[in-house]
């Protein structure tokens, strides 16, 4: 092929001819050959990768790897069908590949329910709650507890819920009705699933960066969490709390990447090759200065996405050269509490309640004591 002729050896041979005979025709040919070499070289090393900018890894290889996982987990009959199947529906293979393709670009998603004017109230703090579309109970529990606090220590607070696609016309209608009633729902057009939590988080970051840049702080908080807005506000209003490049919560240090294929935290080496994660903040509830969302969305263009949303945010932070901060009192960011009576919830910022009933119970326990 033509490319063969463009190899360096061909070029050198013609070059030697040029040195010996000084024929103008040869000089021209040698010059042309030289430029062809350069063009071929550039094409080979630069243009090819650039023409597939999103191919960070060999998708066929990943497909095979993930089929291998399926083989490992299921019986022989599914193997035979799955190995010939071109489009395995809702399997981990498509999940991984679509997450890989889409998650880094939250702006490729569109808000099907939006509240673009919410931030005209200039909130100081925005609480962003990812929640399953059908989980009205969780939203109502939050609306009647910490989500109903629109002003804390004189600072405006906004609580919004983010859902993905509901997967049904009737469910969608109900969501739209709920949205009209409460005006606190955001919906983006990705398939809502556990595997897609990274997309959900990135869409939250995208919303904050594009619809609410004027807020000072934001928090990503799961829908089964108890939070104490008073204590959170005290932390944010402390003169020692930075208003830029700040993120805090329950720090996860030097966590190993789960390679056990039966775990829900399994991440294939193709998606994340290192054996440990950089320091990250546990996804249940982390607080950040509101310059962070834009920077994370930007970083996500360079960081290959994987399905552990909080560790992925950690990888983006590492790329930005930013370390999560220890909370001034790390014991304020609790995970599980045995029961709401043994832990003094009036002193903490977060605790996993685990259900909407518990969110209400925890809230009432604290507010009864006041």
Ligand X SMILES: *[C@@H]1O[C@H](CO)[C@@H](O)[C@H](O)[C@H]1NC(C)=O
Single out the segment in contact with ligand X by CB under 6 A; choices: 92-100, 114-122, 214-222, 231-239: 92-100
Q: Please give the radius of gyration of the chain, using alpha carbons only, rounded to the nearest integer.
A: 26
d(CA 346, CA 231): 8
Task: Specify the residue, 78 or 98, whose C-beta has the smaller distance to ligand X.
Answer: 98
d(CA 92, CA 307): 11
98 part of the interface to ligand X, by CB under 6 A = yes
Instruction: Report how many residues bind ligand X under the rule CB under 6 A.
Output: 23
Residues 116-145 close enough to bind ligand X by CB under 6 A: 143-144
Among 58, 81, 331, 346, binds ligand X (CB under 6 A): 58
Single out the segment in contact with ligand X by CB under 6 A; choices: 38-46, 119-127, 282-290, 360-368: 38-46
Single out the segment in contact with ligand X by CB under 6 A; choices: 40-48, 246-254, 264-272, 298-306: 40-48
Q: CA end-to-end span of the chain, whole Å? A: 82
Task: Specify the residue, 5 or 27, whose C-beta has the smaller distance to ligand X.
Answer: 5
Among 5, 27, 29, 40, binds ligand X (CB under 6 A): 40
Taking each helix axis from N to C end, the angle separating 59-73 and 92-102, rounded to the nearest 10 degrees, works out to 150
Residues 6+ apart with CB under 8 A from 86: none
Closest separation in Å from C-beta 261 to ligand X? 16
Q: Specify the pairing of strand 285-289 against strand 247-248.
A: antiparallel
d(CA 105, CA 122): 27
Q: Assign residue 354 a region: left if phi > 0, alpha if psi is -120 to 50, beta otherwise?
A: left
Among 78, 94, 241, 355, binds ligand X (CB under 6 A): 94
51 part of the interface to ligand X, by CB under 6 A = no
Among 112, 196, 290, 350, binds ligand X (CB under 6 A): 196
- Report H helices in 147-186: 169-182
What are the Cα distances from residue 96, in Å, to 174, 257, 264? Answer: 30, 16, 13
Q: Which stretches of the chain bind ligand X, using CB under 6 A?
A: 6-7, 40-41, 44, 58, 60-61, 64, 94-95, 98-99, 102, 143-144, 148, 190-191, 193, 195-196, 199
């Amino acid at each position: 092929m033509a490319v063969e002729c463009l190899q360096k050896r061909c070029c050198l041979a013609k070059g030697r001819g040029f040195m010996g005979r000084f024929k103008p025709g040869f000089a021209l040919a040698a010059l042309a050959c030289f430029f062809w070499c350069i063009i071929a070289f550039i094409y080979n090393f630069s243009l090819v990768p650039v023409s597939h900018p999103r191919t960070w890894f060999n998708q066929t290889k990943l497909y095979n790897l993930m089929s291998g996982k399926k083989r490992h987990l299921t019986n022989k009959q599914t193997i035979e069908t799955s190995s010939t199947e071109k489009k395995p529906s809702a399997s981990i293979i498509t999940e991984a590949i679509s997450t890989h393709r889409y998650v880094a670009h939250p702006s490729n998603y569109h808000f099907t329910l939006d509240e673009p004017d919410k931030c005209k109230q200039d909130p100081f703090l925005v609480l962003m709650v990812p929640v399953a579309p059908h989980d009205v109970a969780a939203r109502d529990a939050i609306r009647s507890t910490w989500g109903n606090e629109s002003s804390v220590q004189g600072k405006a607070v906004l609580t919004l819920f983010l859902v993905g696609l509901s997967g049904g016309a009737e469910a969608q209608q109900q969501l739209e009705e709920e949205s009209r009633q409460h005006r606190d729902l955001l919906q983006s057009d990705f398939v809502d699933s556990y595997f897609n939590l990274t997309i959900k988080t990135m869409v939250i970051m995208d919303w904050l960066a594009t619809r609410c840049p004027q807020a000072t702080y934001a928090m990503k908080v799961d829908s089964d969490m108890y939070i104490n807005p008073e204590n959170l506000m005290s932390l944010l209003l402390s003169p020692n709390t930075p208003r830029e490049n700040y993120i805090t919560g329950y720090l996860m240090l030097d966590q190993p990447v789960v390679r056990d294929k039966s775990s829900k935290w399994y991440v294939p080496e193709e998606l994340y090759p290192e054996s440990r994660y950089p320091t990250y903040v546990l996804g249940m509830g982390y607080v950040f200065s509101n310059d962070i969302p834009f920077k994370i969305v930007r970083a996500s263009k360079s960081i290959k996405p994987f399905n552990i949303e909080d560790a992925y945010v950690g990888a983006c932070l590492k790329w930005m050269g930013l370390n999560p901060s220890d909370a001034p009192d790390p014991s304020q960011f609790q995970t599980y509490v045995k029961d709401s009576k043994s832990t003094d919830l009036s002193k903490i910022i977060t605790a996993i309640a685990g259900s909407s009933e518990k969110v209400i119970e925890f809230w009432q326990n604290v507010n009864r004591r006041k």
